[in-house]
Amino acid sequence: MAIRVFVPRDATACALGADAVAKLIREGAAGRGLDVEVIRNGSRGAFWLEPMVEVETDSGRLAFGPVGAADVPGLFEAGFPGEAQHPLALGLVDGISWLARQQRLTFVRAGLIDPVSLEDYQSLRGYVGLARALEMAPQAIVDEVKESGLRGRGGAAFPTGIKWQTVLDTVADQKYIVCNADEGDSGTFADRLLMEADPYQMIEGMTIAGLAVGATEGYIYLRSEYPHCRKVLSEALSRAEQAGFLGTGICGSNRDFSIDLRIGAGAYICGEETSLLDSLEGKRGLIRFKPPLPAIKGLMGLPTVVNNVLSLGAISTILAEGAAHYRDFGTGRSRGTLTVQLAGNIKRGGLVELPFGATLRELVEDYGGGTASGRPVRAIQVGGPLGTYLPQSQWDVALDYEALAEIGGMLGHGGIVVFDDSVDLAQQARFAMEFCAVESCGKCTPCRIGSVRGVEVIDRIVANEERAFNLEVLDDLCDTMVEGSLCAMGGLTPYPVRSAIKHFPEDFNR
């Protein structure tokens, strides 16, 4: 029987040379007359070890990493794919403590399987949730989601069950399920990783959502910056359709559900749900007033569920394993697991899934191992480009929605971007305003114009032109943006700016 060797097809793994490694392993095995099957799996999210090559053995999978193309001949010489004494040998994957200490719920299949293989997915309880949902009344499905305590994973943390109830209760001939896969926050890649490693989980979740609220059409709005992901999703969707998991009469039932994959066109704001809906309608991605909520008047003015990739992924687990299973992870009002992404200047970056309650310091020091540069950590931005910069005194905060909110921060989509002591927080504050100016949809004046003025005022402060006066102007401008913007783009841009001024005043005073 062929020896099974796994080389991830994930975008980050490929960016580090995984395609070349896979090719060289195939060629090297063929040249040595070895019967080796190379499988392109998803990544486990231990990006600091990518490309991580795994070999299936009777006692589990053996890992090697990070394997560059130049390492492949040496690996074969050392005995690969058998037990190889090699500096890159990591032992059993299950023994890698960075991974073993995690609690994988959403990412349980990531890296284990060929992402587009339906057989692999089903062998690990895939499509169990859908089978169960097909036997349930819509209200029972919604109740199950409510009981799980699932809150939206895109950033706003709104209870998913309540959103679904509204769509279920709104009478209409047509309803829609929209998956928000416009993951634009810097420092985040959890959605991408899940879609590239285990796409059926989200596809199944969307199908269950359709059954729950009575929608027969779904849309995935994927950002154009993710071409690898697009390939995986297209392939997964067409296989699911061929196998009868999507389309007319799904799984032999009399229920229909189809999914159309749509590609964004480079606009951060389209990650905001109402802007996303306008974009799906073929328009400029402008923010809409709420109310009406998308759950009542969404896509084409019809009731629409808009959920994030991870939220929809969680749905298949909740339906397969029951609400209690999901709810029993987590603390307080933060149920399920915490998914964070260690990014920026970090030694051991990647995706970490844990029970809620871990502190920021534990994650950055323990999992992350400090900075990649080896210099001291100075600032950590949590929650994407609209999140605050946290100074050392705040790193003992627990990473959950409420604890972060208490110190004026937000968990958002769980991005953790680490900066070493070479960072200039005045430049980071300036960038926050600049980014807002580039990406504002333009609807609200405080966001559209305020961000441009913000860049100018920060430049004056840094240049020491009437500094005290201009700091006051900036503060006033921030108030105007917070109070006068419809969505989080203008409303939250002042957060990174203010946190930089508050916690790192010396950077504005040089």
Partner 1 sequence: MSSSAVALKEIVESVIESHQGKIGALLPVLHSIQDKLGHIPPESISMMAAAMSLSRAEIHGVMSFYHDFRGEPAGENILHLCRAEACQAMGSRELEHHAKERLGIDYGETTPDGLFTLEPVYCLGNCSCSPSLRVNDELHARVTAEKFDDLIAQMEARD
**Coil, helix or strand for 348?**
coil
Rounded-to-integer distance, Cα 109 and Cα 127, Å: 13
Binding mask 272-311 for partner 1 (x = CB under 8 A): -------xxxxxxx-------------xx-----------
Binding mask 349-368 for partner 1 (x = CB under 8 A): xx------------------
Q: Contacting partner 1 (CB under 8 A), which of 266, 301, 408, 505?
A: 266
Provide the 10 A C-beta neighbour count for residue 11.
Answer: 21
Q: Contacting partner 1 (CB under 8 A), which of 372, 449, 455, 473?
A: 372
Sign of CA dihedral 115, 118, 119, 124: positive
Provide the 10 A C-beta neighbour count for residue 221.
Answer: 22
Estimate the crossing angle of helix 138-148 against helix 160-169, to 10 degrees.
160
Of 129-137, 144-152, 258-266, 330-338, which part binds partner 1 (CB under 8 A)? 258-266
**Is residue 198 a contact residue for partner 1 (CB under 8 A)?**
no
Q: Tell me, what DSSP letter sits at residue 270?
A: G
R_g (Cα) of the chain, nearest Å: 24
**Is residue 30 a contact residue for partner 1 (CB under 8 A)?**
no
How far apart are CB 497 and partner 1 at their closest, in Å?
13
How far apart are CB 229 and partner 1 at their closest, in Å?
8
Q: Are 302 and 175 in contact (CB under 8 A)?
A: yes
**Is residue 454 a contact residue for partner 1 (CB under 8 A)?**
no
How far apart are CB 183 and partner 1 at their closest, in Å?
6
Rounded-to-integer distance, Cα 394 and Cα 377, Å: 13
Q: Are 408 and 390 in contact (CB under 8 A)?
A: no
How far apart are CB 161 and partner 1 at their closest, in Å?
27
Q: Contacting partner 1 (CB under 8 A), which of 344, 446, 490, 491?
A: 344
Sequence-distant (6+) residues with CB within 8 A of 378 are: 391, 392, 419, 420, 421, 423
The interface with partner 1 within residues 385-424 (CB under 8 A) comprises 385, 415, 417-420, 423
Rounded-to-integer distance, Cα 150 and Cα 163, Å: 11
Q: Contacting partner 1 (CB under 8 A), which of 8, 21, 40, 50?
A: 50
Rounded-to-integer distance, Cα 404 and Cα 397, Å: 7
Q: CB-wise, 187 or 313, nearer to partner 1? A: 187
Query: Which stretches of the chain bind partner 1, using CB under 8 A?
Result: 11-12, 14-16, 47-48, 50, 183-189, 192, 224-228, 260, 262-268, 279-285, 299-300, 341-346, 349-350, 372, 381, 385, 415, 417-420, 423, 427-428, 431, 435, 438-439, 441
